[in-house]
Amino acid sequence: MCGIVGYNGYDQAAPILLDGLEKLEYRGYDSSGLAVRNGKNEIEIVKAKGRLRILSEKTDGGNALAGSCGIGHTRWATHGEPSENNAHPHISDDKNVTGVHNGIIENYQELKEKLLRHNYRFYSDTDTEVAIKLIDYYMKKYSEGPVDSIARAMTRIRGSYALVVMFRDYPDEIFCARKDSPLIIGTKEGETFAASDVPAILKYTRTVYYIGNQQIARLGKGTAEFFDIDREPVEIEPKEVKWDAEAAEKGGFEHFMIKEIHEQPKAVRDTINSIVKGNSIEFGETGISDEIIQGIGRIIIVACGSAYHVGMAAQYVFEDLAKIPVRVELASEFRYRDPLLLKDDLVIVISQSGETADSLAALRLAKEEGIRTLGIINVVGSSIAREAEHVFYTLAGPEIAVATTKAYSAQLAAVYALAIQFAKVRGTIDQQKYEELLAELGTLPGKMEKILEDKERIQWFAAKYSNAKDMFFIGRGIDYAISMEGSLKMKEISYVHSEAYAAGELKHGTISLVENGTLVVGVCTQNRLFEKTRSNMVEVKSRGAYLMGLTSYGNYSIEDTADFTVYIPKTDQHFTTSLAIIPLQLLGYYLSVARGLNVDKPRNLAKSVTVE
């Protein structure tokens, strides 16, 4: 989950590296470092513990480091505590090899013992230092150059990695390798870039190469060559990034998160417009044909975090509209319980980054079993996008805040469209209902905008209860799925202990936690479940809870129970998640702001979980 950048060109490298690291700080922020080759052909390394600004101050914004070739890293610790010693870049004993790494090397202790027997010494507690010194070992043993030494190291390393390496005796080149961890290469005339994610280099180039799994890259000044693990040259076609560079900037908002909350209507509109043409859905490049839909017996949705909550909402929508059985699985559990997969299953993997380690592993397991796979992904060319049999790209654009908002909403739009098409093809809805659902789907962005116009009420409420220590979200059916995501937003950015419960389960233990002043959010968007959930709200209120109600316009009787009520526009019951989640995102955001926390980079979390 660390962030990597590399630059080889003719401009001063350090300011460019720092700029790229700033765009990647959501991936790691407990330490950072730079390595730049100076005019004496020496590699100068500067590291700092803590936020990136400390490294920037230490190097005068990069101006203190001369040289036009370098690498940088921002760390999220996995091996070894946050410290300057453990910060990247790491070097071999004689400074022959310098490198940065994202991932986890599972057999690092075994490799470390091997290197100790060959008189290597270690100064850090990291697995990365082991990888760098292993490359150096093969460089010295076989004397066949960087590509060969990296390839030999790759055959010995077990785990995941994106490596960017400089060699003392190859002054005009940077070398990269990856397995399961994200890494992209960008080029323009006279300059080459490496990075963990597109926003780091979008300011400089739109031409990118997605280096494949177990491949190596040699980066000159404006050139990129690629090799497989057998050292054979491979061809990779460049891609043009369509994102607007300004989309990765705050654009006048105080934080990326609030900016991205406001970008949700566009993300949903763009995702819908990519597949809805007139009165029909055309999946086109996804390859999901009507014949394939007819032959699917069961859907298994695999995801982590907020994407898992998309799956929970999708389960209700698919089963109700298309009458097809759906299981929703946590990717981190899926492959460890030896799942029973059937030949007519469809495994849908949902991931914003397309690099989520557990989700990628689940996808590969499904493929090994011969099961059809579909990825719902936001990043073109990511690992899951490349490996899934079918890909549905959401069009959320770059999402920088660690807590997802617009990617989540775009994923919801994608599963709605899939469920509607499944229902039509399988004959569980008629043409009239199909067109009605598509028309209503098209109204969601406008209704989302209307909710955002009333955000000041949520801001007032969040400020009033910014000292809350415990919070509970309750709901039934789709409202329970909404509650799960609302609760996650609250805990991940405001650090309030927050839990979501199926409202009907309150009497089975949860209600014992409610006491005077406990904040409870009751989500009531499903008409047939409205009265049942409201009765549960009455139960917690009688135990002293302070109640926030969230429902659709027209359900004004909730004000007889709730102390504070938020209304969303009416929509089809299957789509209420897209509207109801916005007030809960705003609640988490404004409560975090009121508590003076770092909204975009919450403690201990990283944007893309690329290690287990």
Measuring CA to CA, which residue among 537, 535, 574, 569 is closest to residue 553?
569
pLDDT, tens digit (0-9, with 9 covering 90-100), for 530-558: 788 887 777 777 777 788 999 999 888 88
| Residue whose tokens read 């839909």 | 293
Tokens of 527: 């008409």
- Token pair of 32 as six digits: 């950072």
Rounded average pLDDT over 181-188: 91
Q: β-pairing, 372-377 with 390-393? A: parallel
Nearest to 392 by CA among 418, 366, 371, 370: 418
Token reading at 201: 């280099």
Average pLDDT over residues 579-604: 90
Q: Rounded CA gap, 257 and 512, in Å?
A: 34
- Using DSSP's 3-state secondary structure scheme, residue 374 falls into strand
CA 259 centroid distance within chain: 17
Most confidently predicted of 181-185, 428-432, 603-607? 428-432
pLDDT of amino acid 598: 86
Closest CA to 394 of 407, 403, 383, 382: 407
3-class DSSP state for residue 345? Answer: strand
Return the higher-pLDDT residue of 508 and 405: 405
The Cα 148–Cα 232 span in angstroms is 10
3-241 CATH? 3.60.20.10
Burial class (CB in 10 A: 0-12, 13-18, 19+), 66: middle
Q: What letter represents residue 359's amino acid?
A: S
User: How many Å apart are CA 322 and CA 418, to the nearest integer?
Assistant: 10
- Does the pLDDT of residue 41 top 90, yes or no? no
Helix (H) or strand (E) holding 136: helix 127-142
pLDDT of residue 536: 79
Q: Checking phi first, is residue 62 left (phi over 0); if not, alpha (psi -120 to 50) or beta?
A: left
Contact 89, 34 (CB under 8 A): yes
- The total number of residues shown for the chain amounts to 612
Which residues participate in catalysis according to the annotation? Answer: 2, 607
- Percent helix, strand, coil in the chain (nearest 5)? 40, 25, 35
Instruction: Return the CATH fold of 250-452.
Output: Rossmann fold (3.40.50)
Name the H helices within 263-336.
Answer: 264-273, 290-295, 305-322, 331-334
Phi-psi region of 438 (alpha: psi -120 to 50; beta: other; left: phi over 0): alpha
Residue 168 tokens, joined? 């003392």
What local confidence, expressed as pLDDT, does residue 608 receive? Answer: 52
- Phi, then psi, of 402 in degrees rounded to 5: -60, -45
Cβ-contact 99, 135 below 8 angstroms: yes
As to burial, measured by CB atoms within 10 angstroms (0-12 exposed, 13-18 middle, 19+ buried), residue 43 is buried
Tokens at residue 238, please?
A: 């460049």
Select from 330, 360, 21, 404 the least CA-distant residue to 182.
Answer: 360
Answer yes or no: are the C-beta atoms of 330 and 583 closer than 8 Å.
no
Say which residue, 413 or 382, is predicted with more confidence: 413
Alpha carbon distance 158, 152 (integer Å): 12
Q: Which CATH number is 455-594 given?
A: 3.40.50.10490
Q: In what order do the strands lie in the sheet with 546-552?
A: 497-502, 470-475, 519-524, 546-552, 564-568
Residue 322: pLDDT over 90:
yes
Q: Amino acid identity, residue 547?
A: L
Contact 397, 198 (CB under 8 A): no
Q: Judge residue 481's burial from the number of C-beta atoms within 10 Å of its C-beta, 0-12 exposed, 13-18 middle, 19 or more buried.
A: buried
pLDDT at 436 over 60: yes
Per DSSP (E only), the strands in 305-389 are 326-330, 345-351, 372-377
pLDDT confidence tier of residue 153, bands split at 50, 70 and 90: very high
Mean pLDDT in residue range 571-585: 96
Q: Is the dihedral of CA 591, 597, 600, 605 positive or negative?
A: negative
Cβ pair 215, 228 in contact under 8 A:
yes
Q: Confirm if 521 and 468 have CB atoms less than 8 A apart.
A: no
| Per-residue model confidence as pLDDT tens digits over 388-431 | 999 999 999 888 888 999 999 999 999 999 999 999 999 999 99
CA separation for the pair 596, 31 (Å, rounded):
22
The H or E element spanning position 227 is strand 224-228
Average pLDDT, stretch 89-108? 92
Amino acid at 229: I
Task: Give me the pLDDT at residue 382, please.
Answer: 84
In degrees, rounded to 5, the angle at the alpha carbon of residue 586 between the alpha carbons of residues 352 and 50 is 65
Secondary structure of residue 276 in the 3-state scheme:
strand
pTM of the predicted model as reported, rounded to 2 decimal places = 0.73
What mean pLDDT do residues 171-182 have? 91
Same fold, 3-241 and 250-452: no
The pLDDT of residue 197: 84
> DSSP character for 609?
-
610 band by pLDDT with thresholds 50, 70 and 90: very low
Instruction: For residues 426 and 440, give the distance between their C-alpha atoms in angstroms, rounded to a whole number.
Output: 21
pLDDT tens track for 334-375: 888 888 999 999 999 999 988 888 999 999 999 999 999 999
Q: In degrees to the nearest 10, what's the CA dihedral of 385, 388, 394, 398?
A: -20
What is the structure's pLDDT at 400? 83
Cα(34)–Cα(561) distance, integer angstroms: 57
Q: Look at residue 291 and give its three-state secondary structure.
A: helix
Residue 512 amino acid letter: S
pLDDT of 512 reads: 66
Q: Which residues pair with 46 in a beta bridge?
A: 34
With bands split at pLDDT 50, 70 and 90, how would you rate the model's confidence at 318? very high
Beta bridge partners of 547: 520
CB 11, CB 191: distance < 8 Å: yes
Give residue 160's pLDDT band: very low, low, confident or very high (50, 70, 90).
confident
- Residue 260: both structure tokens together: 């991205």
Name the percent of the chain lying above pLDDT 70. Answer: 94
- What are the domain boundaries of the chain? 3-241, 250-452, 455-594
Taking the mean position of all CA atoms in its chain, how far away is CA 399?
8
DSSP labels, 29-62: -SEEEEEEE-TTS-EEEEEEESSHHHHHHHTTTT
CA gap 70, 89 in Å, rounded: 10
pLDDT band at 607 (very low <50, low <70, confident <90, very high): low
